[in-house]
Structure 1
Amino acid sequence: MTTVSTPAAHRLTAIHPAGTRALLVELPNLPAVLALAARLAESPLPGQLDALSAAATVLVKFDSPNAARAATPVLANLDLGTAPEETGKLVEIAVHYDGADLAEVATLTGLSPEAVVAAHTGQTWRAAFGGFAPGFAYLLGENPALQVPRRSTPRTSVPAGAVALAGDYSAVYPRQSPGGWQLIGRTDAVLWSLDRSDPALIRPQDRVRFVPARPSMDLHPAAAEPDAGTATGAPATPTETGGLLVVHAGLQSLIQDLGRPGLGELGVSAAGAVDPSAARQANRLVGNQAGDAVIENLMGSLALTAESDQVLAVTGARTTLHITPSDPDRSERSPAQDAPFALLAGETLTLGPATEGLRCYLGVRGGIAAEPVMGSRSTDLMSGIGPDPLAAGLRIPVGPARGAHVVGAPEPATLRPAPASGVATLRITPGPRDDWFGPAGMDVLTGQNWRVGAASNRIGVRLELDDGGTPVPRIRDGELASEGVVWGALQVPPSGLPVLFLADHPVTGGYPVIAAVVPEDLGAAAQLPPGTRVRFALIDSPTSTPQGTRS
């Protein structure tokens, strides 16, 4: 797919491919964005999974490359009409103006810190659209006095309740998360709670007034409600099939299925297993449906005891499996990976440390029976939605086997073998914002090795320079308005060090995306341990093999 310009009469500026299964539609203004979003919500295109509005774009995701290609001419000739009128409610938020970047914002705007606070509280802000995280609303002000750029390097952790500025917008971070906005204060208001009938405190078209908090003032009524955003989706009531008891959870063990797509407008990412092929294989081997919940374990060292007879399979990263019986007269055994095996009542399965790859997947016949949250059993670390991470002493309920699915036969591993060169290759397609970097920037991205950074997680792979490497240069200055991003996007902040978004990525981002890793390589990307050398290869389609690639 290539960028398509559209006639002015249709009010679309351009259509850019965003990976192989999404289109980024540029529009001239916010009313046009809202009109297109309303049209797509009323009459979805064939294969449409999600449509995510932003300041001047709508990101439309599809279930296949063919659906994305077919949608391009349809969008280019679409009569947008007008968006329905929405007035919204007035929300008042009390703020403690003691943010880490308040002095920097004062310098950037030429105002004193007191004048910054006065400008922030002296206007009404309009929630233009949502995104980034559940409950995160982009608030557009009435005057440009507080226009400031994002930080050159985003923080790896911004606290919940942080009040921030970036570009034309202000926002409140609903929960702890990465972020590159300038922090000017904090609030006790709860922006997102699944205990409320409407989880989001601020929705698009609402009006927001910020007021300075007094030390003795009561919380905003909405802030007095419990924050369910970080403690939802506890395991369900035990079933008749028994369950598994966590003896040791390892570094990180999460319940995951194939995610909750289609909720981007609420700021909810799809989440799900970051190596879907390994998760599907684990389910297939034990006779489950592909979307049943499994355990995603980081780097091994997980130990589970069966409360009743179970059928398990472990896939993904390479590890050793060891079963210890409760009866000392019975023999210990070591089942193989990528094959089903029995774990009898009282027996304990232990996964050794991962020796190759990063994430193991454990499937159990019947599936993990955690309580679904917003249609999925996945744990979303970015949003705090879904079951809590596993911990020692937790009982994991297992559902009954459904249908006539039989236990599978041993299969080859889905883990991509380590290349002989010692450098993993990930295939990419350009855009949607490769024009911010030009041919020279793309040459830097693809012409050198990168290293996987230690700060990488399910949100994204943070890339660092390899020996002799150089950051990706830009040919355009200024700020890019926040817009929707896809799983696999390579976002490049001003530091020039790309971040590869994974399953828990924010649904919108404010740094330009130079390229996207093809979906067929995302499982391999999620299995790269810190320190691994990576090289990006530009291709035309996911079936292409770039010249010089070695497996």
Structure 2
Amino acid sequence: MSVTAVRFAGPRALLVELSGLDSVLALHARLTADPLPGQLDVLAAASTVLVQCDTRAHAVAARTAVERLELEHAPAGTGKTVEIPVTYDGEDLAEVARLTGLSPEGVVNAHTGQVWTAAFGGFAPGFAYLTGEDGSLEVPRRATPRTAVPAGAVALAGGYSAVYPRKSPGGWQLIGRTESVLWDVARPDPALIRPQDLVRFTAVRESLGLAVSAGSAEPAGSAGSAEPAGPARPADAILAGSRPVPAGPVEEEPAPPQPHTAGSLEVVSTGLQSLVQDLGRPGMGNLGVGSSGALDVPAARQANRLAGNSPGDAVVENLFGSLALRACGDQVLAVTGARVQLDIAPSGRRPAQDAPFALLDGETLSLGPATAGLRAYVAVRGGIELAAELGSRSTDTLSGLGPAPMEAGFILPVGHAGSGHVVGTPEPPVLRVCPGETALLRITPGPRDDWFGQAGLDRLTGQDWVSGSASDRIGVRLELPGGGAPAGGSNGTPTGGAPAETPAPLERIRDGELQSEGTVAGALQVPPSGLPVLFLADHPVTGGYPVIAAVVPEDLPVVAQLPPGSTVRFVLVDPDTLLPAGSAGTSNPPERYRA
């Protein structure tokens, strides 16, 4: 049992290739029980383990440590046993029988007659890849995936079985269905099946309605009652009241500190999309849960800093502006990120961005359309106090975790702000995009650049790309400029002086399929079309297409602010210095594209 290769997946993550699934499970168990310094997450897949670290230095040290490890066998019997009743009436049962040479009854007997082990998670929260005791049910995926597989579908593909925890696209062969709930955040442990658990399937003629939920969840998002409104006060008095005042005579029994703000913000208009985001829920990849969180982290942190909050407090992430919020109780807000005009009705005030301002009880703040950038961030002093799921208030658009996308009438409860919530002073904007200019994104190759060769990397970096209109929080879909117009500057010569060529998709130099493996935010995954998808915070934790390179974490805030139609140019850099490969420090990207 051994490590066969260690590849970098971006500057701060490792993709460790191993000789077999037993080695994968052994390494995963080792790193889970005894994490490496700076280790943030470890994700097992069919033949790889993805190790994510907090810094480049820790990732380099982790590579040395992993290469020196001597792995024992994977631990056995460390999980619980889960029994899942199944009605075997799947649409692909007859096809599976044909592929395996068994009768439909033989397929059912083979599925129920062995104990399945949860090897690893991925794809979606609660989705577990189960390995059997023999290979009698090894079948290929469907030639054409379904656009929607229902929750509870029991399926086979390759050497694995699984149960779909929620409705989603999928290409596995469906043999039955269960009413067992695979994922429920109302339970103390949301995942019914975790890695290393043992699973027994039992055949039933009718759905049994197995109750696995540990009680219903309390309603989330209900606003607390606002304190009675006092006399109207000027906006500057609200801001002044946010700062500490000199202490007076000490009372024998001082009253508990009263919060400056209470009440809520009511959503009057959401614009194109408005979501609640914080810094996400990292470290849950093995359950199929991505980190999510604000896409432009510096802008979200700045908004919280200006409002006097902690960096991880929840904010509103708004797409393209046109958001309107009405104050219930006097509030202090700050708006950062994309450039928008701020208007307060009925007073007619126009506060500046990147600075704290007061929104008095009953006033409405309106964000105009974005004129630069894509996402604006709104923080309120005291933070947004919606219920957290798995330790975060972030809305994950892929998994469905967190608060629902906002609608008109949505109430955002505001947390209590004490003396520690000191508002900041105006700051320069952190936005790093300029309308009409090419965005330079630094990348490091791998982990699967060998599927494309040097020619593939040259094409990736030697031509312009355009952010597509179908992009979202999951990823930016890259397109060719002008339907294939020549790349490069006004003289038709790309950066670097190479002769101009007509833009074209990336081409593989290897045949076959890649087994699903862990991915990171910033990964440039290349589907068969040859047009890369740049993964963002809500990306799936595993993917089955090769990743040619990864955008460095420091440049992901730039990606978060690129409107559709933006021109992008990729620059290969040294992962240690983040300067262009072979650079002596004189040709690094312009200042606005640096960290």
| TM-score, length basis structure 1 | 0.86
Q: Distance in 2 between the 1:382 and 1:235 partners?
A: 24
1:382 corresponds in structure 2 to 398
Larger Rg: 1 or 2? 2
1:3 matched residue in structure 2: none
Deviates more, 1:204-213 or 1:306-315: 204-213
Q: How many residues align?
A: 527
> C-alpha distance in 1, partners of 2:468/2:325?
30
Deviates most, 530-539 or 182-191: 182-191
Which residue, 349, 363, 366 being the options, matches 1:350? 366
Residue 159 (structure 2) pairs with residue 168 (structure 1): yes
Q: Is the 8 A contact 1:472 1:496 kept in 2?
A: yes
Matched residues in 2 for 1:392 and 1:464: separation? 34
Say which of 433, 456, 473 aligns to 2:471. 456
Higher mean C-alpha displacement, 81-90 vs 490-499:
81-90
Residue 275 in structure 1 maps to residue 296 in structure 2: yes
Which residue of structure 1 aligns with residue 562 of structure 2?
A: 528
Q: How does 1:184-333 map to 2 (within 5 A)?
A: 188-208=179-199, 217-222=206-211, 233-235=220-222, 237=224, 241-325=262-346, 331-333=347-349
2:3 alignment partner, SS class: coil
Q: Note the residue ranges of structure 1 that are not aligned, 5 or more in a row.
A: 1-7, 326-330
RMSD in angstroms over aligned alpha carbons?
A: 3.1
**2:573 maps to 1:543:** no
The 1:156/1:499 distance shift into structure 2, 3 A limit, reads farther
Give 1:18 deviation, angstroms: 0.9
Q: Give the distance between the partners of 1:531 and 1:291, measured in 2 at CA.
A: 31
CA distance in 2, matches of 1:337, 1:487: 28
CA distance in 2, matches of 1:464, 1:181: 29
Q: Which residue of 2 aligns with 1:328?
A: none
CA shift, 1:117, in A, is 9.2
- Partner of residue 61, structure 1: 52
The answer for unaligned runs of 5 or more in structure 2 is 228-261, 485-502, 582-586
State the secondary structure of the residue aligned to 1:122. Answer: helix
Task: Check whether the contact 1:59–1:485 (CA below 8 A) recurs between aligned residues.
Answer: yes
Structure 1 residue 25 corresponds to structure 2 residue 60: no
Question: Amino acid of the residue matched to residue 578 of structure 2?
Answer: T
Aligned to 2:248: none
What letter matches 1:544 in structure 2? L
What are the within-5 Å matches in structure 2 for residues 353-372 of structure 1?
353-372=369-388
How many Å apart are 1:72 and its aligned residue? 1.6
1:415 counterpart = 2:431: yes
CA–CA distance in 2 between the matches of 1:276 and 1:470?
33
Residue 471 of structure 1: how far off its partner (Å) = 2.1
Equivalent residues of 2:13, 2:59 under 8 A apart? yes
What's the CA shift for 1:449? 2.2
Task: State the shift of 1:419 in Å.
Answer: 6.2
Q: 1:504 aligned to 525, 530, 538, which one?
A: 538
Q: Cα gap change, 1:112/1:63 in structure 2, threshold over 3 Å: closer, same or farther?
A: closer
Identity %: 61
Query: Residues 4-34 of structure 1: CA distance to partner in whole angstroms, max 9, x if unpaired?
Result: xxxx7xx111111111111111111112112
Displacement of 1:511 in angstroms is 1.6
TM-score normalised over the length of structure 2: 0.80
Give 1:464 deviation, angstroms: 2.6
Kept in 2, the 8 Å contact 1:315–1:413? The answer is: yes
* TM alignment of 1:72-221, pairs within 5 A: 72-86=63-77, 88-94=80-86, 102=92, 106=95, 111=99, 119=107, 122-123=110-111, 124=114, 125-141=116-132, 142-143=134-135, 146-148=138-140, 160-177=151-168, 188-208=179-199, 217-221=206-210
CA distance in structure 2 between the aligned counterparts of 1:371 and 1:300, rounded to whole angstroms: 25
For residue 83 of structure 1, report the CA deviation from its aligned partner: 3.1
Q: How far, CA to CA, are the matches of 1:549 and 1:14 in structure 2?
A: 32
Q: 1:140–1:168: 8 Å Cα contact kept in structure 2?
A: yes
How far is 1:68 from its partner? Answer: 0.7
Q: Does 1:436 align with 2:471?
A: no
Counterpart secondary structure, 1:34: helix
Alpha-carbon shift at residue 297 of structure 1 (Å): 1.1
Q: How far did residue 538 of structure 1 move?
A: 1.4
Post-superposition offset of 1:264: 1.4
1:477 aligns with 2:464: no
Partner of 1:4: none
> Structure 1 residues 437, 204: closer, same or farther in 2, change over 3 A?
same
Q: CA deviation at 1:96?
A: 6.9
1:58-91 Cα offsets, whole Å, 9 max, x none, are 1111111111112221111123333321264243
Query: What CA distance in whole angstroms lies between the structure 1 residues aligned with 2:163 and 2:424?
Result: 48
Cα distance in 2 for partners of 1:518, 1:451 equals: 19
CA contact (8 A) 1:233 1:388 kept: no
Aligned 8 A contact 1:95 1:210 in 2: no
1:195 CA displacement: 2.4
2:192 corresponds to which letter in structure 1?
L
How much does 1:458 deviate? 1.1
